[in-house]
Structure 1
Amino acid sequence: MLLEGKKLLVTGVLMDSSIAFHVARLAQEQGAEVILTSFGRTFRITQSIAKRLPTTPEVIELDVSDQEHLDTLAERLREHTDHLDGVVHSIGFAPAGAFNFLEADWEDVATAVQVSAYSLKSLTVASLPLMGEGGSVVGLTLDATKAWPVYDWMGVAKAAFESTNRYLARDLGPKGIRSNLVSAGPIATTAARSIPMFEQFEKWGERSPLGWDLRDAEPAAKACVALLSDWFPATTGEIVHVDGGFHAMGF
């Protein structure tokens, strides 16, 4: 099994349609122990959804915009594990105002950047006390090389997210820890459906050489599991596209 004996922290499990849920499921099936995070009104939802996994994992509270949560993360994780082999970042949020590029105010933009980009660094640093050589950080993105319709400041935040990954790879490399992203095609998750442009992705499959199923999160989840494993020991700072090949086509 790819993840035999590994211990992972997985963020972003809200519904069983989410990529993070399928990462957690496949990771368990591949031999890993998993801990989930959630907070606020979604905490009980995550606890309920967690019961649908092969083994019901612990769920700990973590709001990546709350410094106290970050400062105490390692201590609280030690109640359930003595170390981490991997961290999955599947977190993104932008206020409604951030989806209007020219009219968005800094407060909305700052929230989008903090939660959707800076949190890759803050979550990783908060987890470092439990991570050692061979560790892997994996995040989920949507191709930030394009100016997508209506995505606006979330698109800018994703560009910052992808840059953050490269700097993490630089600074974590000497510690023997890798940092990579999976650029997934659109998945019809609860979070994605809240983005105003989501309905425009319906034809993604027509423009992808391999096709694309908006309802199938497993291909992206499999890529995450592979990057969490020991099968990419010399890969870091990378963005692996799992989008049916859409990103490589010209239109």
Structure 2
Amino acid sequence: MGILEGKNILVTGVLTQDSIAFHVAKIAQEQGAQVLLTAYPRRGLTERIARRLPSGPDAAPPVIELDVTNATQLAELPDRISEHVPTLDGVVHAIGAAPQTALGGNFLHTSWDDVGAAMHASTYSLKSLTVACLPLMKGGGSVVGLDFDASQAWPLYDWMGVAKAGLEACSRYLARYVGPQGVRVNLVAAGPLDTPAAKGIPGFQEVAGVWGDRAPLGWNTADPVPAAKACVALLSDWFPSTTGEIVHVDGGVNIIGA
């Protein structure tokens, strides 16, 4: 019996088979969970990718269209989920987006409109998604978000780095406010991976290129499985008293001073 046996898990951010979220959904199914997916803006792409999960093309998980910056869609989310499962036990926040003007060394000149768009999609959405799902988590549960260590200023990451720092703070405040309802909130800070999101970050290869040299355990940018396993572990009942934490899955780079 798997560690997610009998649990209903909502996974956002499945874009391709290289997505961390895809591997979270895959391992969650292998561990016994019933998985639901959300997609935006390319729902058809997510539906095609969903057919490659272990459940197979004939039993692929449902895909719900969800723009986490759209208040109407967030308000409708509990009803949309209830069409498939009566309750939720876990939610995976694998969402992050920023205009190109907020990345790539333009930090001093990025407009508030573009900064605000990055913060809305990448930071505030953790709160929005969690609150939207709370009515279905009456028995408690686990919210897991994907992070990239925001304790340092990374080359060319710019306002997305600020958004991730906000995500880390948001997760702690969320943990404080939803804890009395039995809901845990944690983040997994993965090292650089060759995901669709990474391809949109100028200078990604510059960071990824030195990661393997600095990581005590080594690092493979083509292997999202370690990060996905950490997410699944946090979704399970094996961390019943852990909340507001950031679990680093980066080969140990976060502990290295120089």
Indicate the TM-score class for this superposition, using the shorter chain for normalisation.
over 0.9
Query: Is 1:160 aligned to 2:195, yes or no?
Result: no
From 58, 61, 65, the counterpart of 2:62: 58
| 2:188 aligned partner | 182
* Partner SS, residue 204 of structure 1: helix
From 78, 97, 101, the counterpart of 1:97: 101
| 1:29 aligned partner | 30
1:1-251 counterparts in 2 under 5 A? 1-40=2-41, 42-55=42-55, 56-99=60-103, 100-200=106-206, 201-251=208-258
1:171-220: per-residue Cα shift (whole Å, max 9, x none)?
A: 01111110000000011011111100211112211100000000000000
Q: Is the 8 A contact 1:183 1:243 kept in 2?
A: yes
Q: Is the 8 A contact 1:86 1:136 kept in 2?
A: yes
* Partner SS, residue 83 of structure 1: coil
Q: Is the 8 A contact 1:134 1:233 kept in 2?
A: no
Write the distance in 1 (CA, Å) between the matches of 2:211 and 2:255. 13
* Partner SS, residue 192 of structure 1: helix
The amino acid of 1:171's aligned partner reads Y
Which moves more between the two structures, 159-168 or 192-201? 192-201
* Partner SS, residue 4 of structure 2: coil
Q: TM-score scaled by structure 2?
A: 0.96
* Partner SS, residue 137 of structure 1: strand
* Partner SS, residue 196 of structure 1: coil
Alignment length (residue pairs): 250
Find runs of 4+ consecutive structure 1 residues off by over 2 angstroms: none
The amino acid of 2:229's aligned partner reads K
Write the distance in 2 (CA, Å) between the matches of 1:174 and 1:5. 23
* Partner SS, residue 138 of structure 1: strand
Runs (5+) with no aligned partner, structure 1: none
CA displacement at 1:39 relative to structure 2 = 2.2
Percent identity of paired positions between Structure 1 and Structure 2? 62
Runs (5+) with no aligned partner, structure 2: none
Q: Is the 8 A contact 1:88 1:138 kept in 2?
A: yes
